[in-house]
Amino acid sequence: MIPVTKPFLPPQNEYRAYLDKIWESQWLTNMGPLSKELELRLANHLRVNEALFVTNGTIALQMAIKALDLTGEVITTPFSFIATTSSIVWEGCRPVFVDIDKESLNIDAAKIEAAITSKTQAILATHVYGNPCDVEKIQAIADKYNLKVIYDGAHAFGVKINGKSIFEYGDISTCSLHATKLYHSVEGGLVFAKRKAVFKKLKSIRNFGFAGPEAFDELGINGKNSEFHAAMGLVNFKYIDKIHQKRKALTEKYDTLLSEANVQKPSWYQEATQNYAYYPILLDSEKYLLKILEKFKKNNIQARRYFYPSLANSTPYLPIQSFEVTDDIAKRVLCLPLFYDLMSKDIKVICEIIIKTFK
């Protein structure tokens, strides 16, 4: 079987060495030494001032919404993972969807202004597949209308625009370190903030809102992660470059083999680096996509309709809405298998199936 993704697992003895450290310190969770070490190493690697290691990428989004005191309408994208939308609703805000751009598949910045009302407080956009949103235009709109900006950077680990970390954009940026993501700590997430005061607030929110052992300064939650997860993050940290190189090579293999197929790839932000988190392709029509999926199934290959369906017409808690570009793209986008252990020969089989389907 060729799965669509497979978590990276480091050599077990390297993880065991960290378990020895945990047994030595007897510190299991609550911002222990390994969590702190991970935060420092990641902040340094990603070239940001500070990073908060939290339970997962979903709580990271919820903490972001809470930290910015949002209560009204939040402009967001219908083309993302469900957590982008559900965290807005979970925090008592109203998601207002704006259609995506058909080239980048990110929220269409040119359509944001038309969706702004007197109740709009923020824009929460996803860097889909790690490809940066139109961060400059979005910030200009936010400045003009006095809105906050949150970026769901769950896919965007390591991406830079002209050397600047993607996580430096917006008031708050988040990332997911889930096992299926590019770089992981089994479960985990990261939160970054532009302003020091916001970062401090996020830190307090992560720990129940404690201001000291007997005082509270915020409405908080338990967003802490454990030393066991930090240990996995630290072991995997050593492999970041190797993982990146491997995924780059696999991506290039796909590019070469698919050059003769009738498939399109989303466009990438021109000044940004790539992180090779996913390999999305756009087919001509849903009919082709379903044909390919059927052939994949026969050959024990998994691919994922990521993202499908649109978040604006699939949840039981929001009204059904259609969006021209999102609905069209969601129907014909497919993410092909891409993971560290994927082999060149597997890519050959996958690409042959795709090419044959068109013939």
Ligand X SMILES: *Cc1c(COP(=O)(O)O)cnc(C)c1O
Pairing state between β 160-161 and 164-165: antiparallel
- Three-state secondary structure call for residue 220: coil
Interacting positions 17-56 with ligand X (CB under 6 A): 56
Minimal distance, residue 57 CB to ligand X, in Å: 3
d(CA 304, CA 223): 29
21 in Cβ contact with 216 (< 8 Å): no
Q: Is 336 in the site for ligand X (CB under 6 A)?
A: no
Distance CA 312, CA 80 (A): 10
- Smaller CB separation from ligand X, 85 or 357: 85
Give the residue nearest to ligand X (CB).
Answer: 57
Q: Does 84 bind ligand X (CB under 6 A)?
A: yes
Pick the closer one to ligand X by CB: 32 or 57. 57
Figure out which of the listed residues 154, 235, 312, 350 binds ligand X, where binding follows CB under 6 A. Answer: 154
Q: Is 226 in the site for ligand X (CB under 6 A)?
A: no
CA distance 174 to 109: 20
By the rule CB under 6 A, 155 interacts with ligand X: yes
CA gap 49, 340 in Å, rounded: 29
Binding residues among 243-282 for ligand X as defined by CB under 6 A: none
Structure tokens at 87: 């965290």
Positive or negative: CA dihedral 122, 202, 134, 100: negative
Q: Is 173 in the site for ligand X (CB under 6 A)?
A: no
User: Structure tokens of 145?
Assistant: 């209308």
Note whether 80 binds ligand X by CB under 6 A.
Answer: yes
Minimum CB separation of residue 353 from ligand X in Å reads: 26
Among 101, 108, 152, 171, binds ligand X (CB under 6 A): 152
The residues of the shown chain that bind ligand X, judged by CB under 6 A, are 56-58, 80-81, 83-84, 126, 152, 154-155, 176, 178, 189
